[in-house]
A and B are shown apart, each in its own frame.
Chain A
Amino acid sequence: MYNTLFNFSDDLFSELEQWQRQLVGRNIVSNIRPVARGSFPAINLGSTPSSVEVYAFVPGVEAKSLDIQIDKNLLTLQGERTLALPKEDNKLTVYAQERFSGKFKRVITLPDDVDVSKVNASYKDGVLHISIQRREEAQPKRIEIQ
């Protein structure tokens, strides 16, 4: 009787289920250095046959205040972001303060074949991009047949 009224829900639920599967399915295996959701800064990693690419989303941080260190295959990114928040008084009200303020540190495990002497770092639009070359012997080579 109410079929037409509730028909849409079929699609809605299957859609929700699909979303959920995509969200949950992303990281099934946990890292030994887990990070809480929403940790600062957020990090994306990429890989090419010749390099490892690290993108750290650090908006509003002075590039020179960032400390990047690589020890064996651990990359450590440290820094501090101090937000100069005005003092609240009867003329000023702070309604939202969602932005991170303080010291931060993130540790990333790199693949074993990186060459720590070949690192490039740049900062643009609030994103720190670190590119680390892989060791040459580890790179895939095409072998010509004579």
Chain B
Amino acid sequence: MTEATHQAVAPNTPELATLRPLVTIVEEESGFTLTAELPGVPKENVRVQVENNVLTLEGEIRLQTPEQMKSTHAEIGSAKYKRAFTLSRELDSTKIEASQRDGVLTLHIPKAEHAQPRKIEVQIG
């Protein structure tokens, strides 16, 4: 077995496009939870990066493929995933937690402490 991913996912095509991972985004008081599907991407091939308030997720597929394998049908037509999100100001991008399991990337993006909701008491006087 070799790791000729190219043959398994992108037969005879130059790397034209990247795949857009499907996501679920949930917001809670403490922050956001983003789950992204990156099937075929081992943990070490996932890249999560924040630059200029833009969160970018990238991953490269690695599959076990036998030697001499020719692709006959491909619904996953590229070996790379990429998707970017604009973060809003109240999020603390220095404290993002990431984990990858069974091809699913889970990110927790906390809100900065000063941005967490406070209940404001109305004084009657």
Q: Which residues of A contact B (CB under 8 A)?
A: 19, 22, 35, 39, 41-49, 51, 53, 55, 57-61, 83, 85-86, 91-100, 122-127, 129, 131
A46-B7, A97-B24, A98-B22 are known contacts. Are A53 and B37 too (CB-CB below 8 A)?
no
Q: How many whole Å from A52's CB to the nearest CB in chain B?
A: 8
- Report the bound CA distance from A53 to B11 in whole Å: 14
Q: Which residues of B contact A60 (CB under 8 A)?
A: 37, 101-104
A85–B42 CA distance with the chains assembled, in angstroms: 25
B residues touching A (Cβ–Cβ < 8 Å)? 7-9, 13, 16, 22-29, 35, 37-42, 62-76, 101-104
Q: Are B9 and A44 in contact (CB under 8 A)?
A: yes
Dominant SS among interface residues on chain A: strand
User: Once the chains are docked, how many angstroms separate the CA of A58 from the CA of B29?
Assistant: 31
User: In the complex, are the beta carbons of B37 and A59 less than 8 A apart?
Assistant: yes
Question: Which of chain B's residues have a CB closer than 8 A to the CB of A61?
Answer: 102
**From residue A11, how far is it (CB to closest CB) to chain B in Å?**
16
Closest to A35 in B: B75
- Shortest Cβ gap from B15 to chain A (Å): 12
State whether A53 and B39 are in contact (beta carbons under 8 Å apart), knowing that A96-B24, A126-B103, A127-B103 are contacts in the complex.
no
A94–B28 Cα distance when bound, in Å, is 9
Bound complex: CA of A59 vs CA of B40, how far in Å? 8
CB of B74 within 8 A of CB of A44, answer: yes
Beyond the given A44-B76, A46-B8, A95-B25, could you list 13 further A-B residue pairs with CB under 8 A, ordered by the A residue number? A45-B74, A46-B71, A47-B72, A55-B40, A60-B103, A60-B104, A85-B26, A94-B26, A94-B27, A99-B23, A100-B22, A122-B64, A125-B42
